[in-house]
């Protein structure tokens, strides 16, 4: 018996943002229909090293796809020349349980997260959206913009980061796929007057104030992915239609986790999951003036669905290396 090993380069050659969006949208739809299994992700916390390791299993019945992702988050890694996030995905046969492929999951994680933001904005942002604001100019800022550019006719991008060099780097990279006007700054308030706002920082205190957000704005809150993290003033959530990727996961590690713990919002203030919206069980945006928030924590179903597409494409292209297993 053999398994297919796919390196990060093999994955990059097998996955476009368009494909990532299609995979993630189908994963959300299955989740909304109740045909997906996804236990909560489990964490190992390394306080000594300011990092964590997460395991994320899932099964999508409709796609006949199953597997697990192992992923770390170590914010200090860039100082040692390593990515903050690194991941490995194992795909298995649902029929026998045998592993079929092992692949690098770092690029895949970035792409499926960008795809999730794009899918959420497709259902929750105004269709006429043309301006995007990015709070955080790291790798995920670029990938979020890449996803949004697949769905919307983006004309203006406003970027805020503590490092203007990172802003300039993001602009330079983004110009390879997007012909738009870029405005870069260290001022977060200045990037909030947009149609779609994306936050991608590891902040543990609100960065975006309530009075900076006008009616009709859609926000993709991406950065909060562990207990204690938050990027938005809780008052924003109190007047917004809040859609989460998973209620349990978001409640303990998403943008809503701190406001819920402090009693500023209640569980019933969460409008729906994105799966319920994509599956058509509840409407997404219903008027031009409402504020919508997508609380993205990152789901195993996104990883497995995207990895399944990568595997099929890689086999078709003859990529990867067959390794003996049994």
CA dist 140 to 166, 198, 308, Å?
Answer: 12, 10, 22
125/220 Cα distance (integer angstroms): 10
Name the catalytic one among 18, 47, 69, 229.
69
130/85 Cα distance (integer angstroms): 30
Which runs of E-coded beta strand occur in 140-180?
Answer: 156-160
Give the three-class secondary structure for 83: coil
CB-CB contact of 114 with 143 (8 Å): yes
Residues comprising the chain, all counted: 326
180/195 Cα distance (integer angstroms): 15
- Rounded to the nearest 10 degrees, the angle between the axes of helix 106-124 and helix 17-33 is 70
What letter would DSSP give residue 190? Answer: G
CB-CB contact of 104 with 11 (8 Å): yes
Q: Are strands 321-324 and 2-6 parallel, antiparallel or unpaired?
A: antiparallel
Q: Are strands 181-185 and 156-160 parallel, antiparallel or unpaired?
A: parallel
291/33 Cα distance (integer angstroms): 26
Half-sphere exposure of residue 277: CA atoms within 13 angstroms, side-chain side = 27
**Residue 158 C-alpha from the chain's centroid:** 20
Strand partners, 3: 323
CB-CB contact of 135 with 38 (8 Å): no
What letter would DSSP give residue 36? Answer: E
Is 317 part of the annotated catalytic residue set? no
Q: Which residues are catalytic?
A: 69
């Amino acid at each position: 018996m053999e398994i297919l090993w796919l390196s990060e380069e093999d994955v990059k050659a097998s996955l476009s943002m368009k494909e990532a969006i299609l995979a993630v949208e189908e994963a959300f739809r299955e989740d909304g229909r109740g045909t997906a299994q996804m236990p909560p992700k489990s964490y190992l916390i390394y306080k000594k090293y300011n990092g964590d390791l997460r395991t994320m299993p899932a099964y999508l019945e409709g796609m006949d796809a199953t597997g697990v992702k192992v992923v770390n988050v170590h914010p200090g890694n860039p100082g040692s020349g390593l990515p903050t996030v690194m991941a490995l995905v194992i795909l298995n046969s649902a029929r026998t349980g045998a592993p079929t492929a092992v692949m690098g999951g770092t690029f895949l994680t970035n792409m499926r997260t960008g795809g999730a933001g794009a899918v959420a904005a497709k259902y929750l942002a105004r269709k006429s959206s043309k301006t995007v604001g990015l709070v955080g100019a790291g790798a995920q800022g670029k990938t979020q913009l890449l996803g949004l550019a697949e769905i919307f006719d983006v004309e203006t991008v406003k970027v805020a980061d503590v490092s203007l060099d990172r802003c300039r780097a993001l602009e330079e990279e983004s110009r390879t796929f997007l012909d738009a006007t870029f405005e870069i700054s260290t001022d977060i308030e200045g990037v909030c007057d947009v149609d779609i706002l994306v936050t991608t920082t590891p902040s543990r205190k609100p960065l975006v104030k309530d009075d900076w957000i006008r009616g009709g704005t859609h926000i993709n809150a991406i950065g909060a992915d562990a207990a204690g993290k938050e990027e938005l003033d809780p008052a924003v959530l109190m007047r917004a239609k809040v859609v989460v990727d998973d209620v349990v996961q978001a409640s303990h590690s998403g943008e809503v986790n701190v406001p819920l713990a402090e009693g500023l919002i209640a569980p019933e203030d969460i409008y729906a999951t994105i799966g319920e919206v994509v599956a058509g069980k509840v409407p997404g945006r219903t008027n031009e003036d409402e504020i919508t928030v997508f609380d993205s924590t990152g789901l195993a179903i996104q990883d497995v669905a995207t990895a399944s597409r990568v595997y099929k494409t890689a086999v078709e292209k003859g990529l990867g290396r067959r390794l003996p297993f049994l």
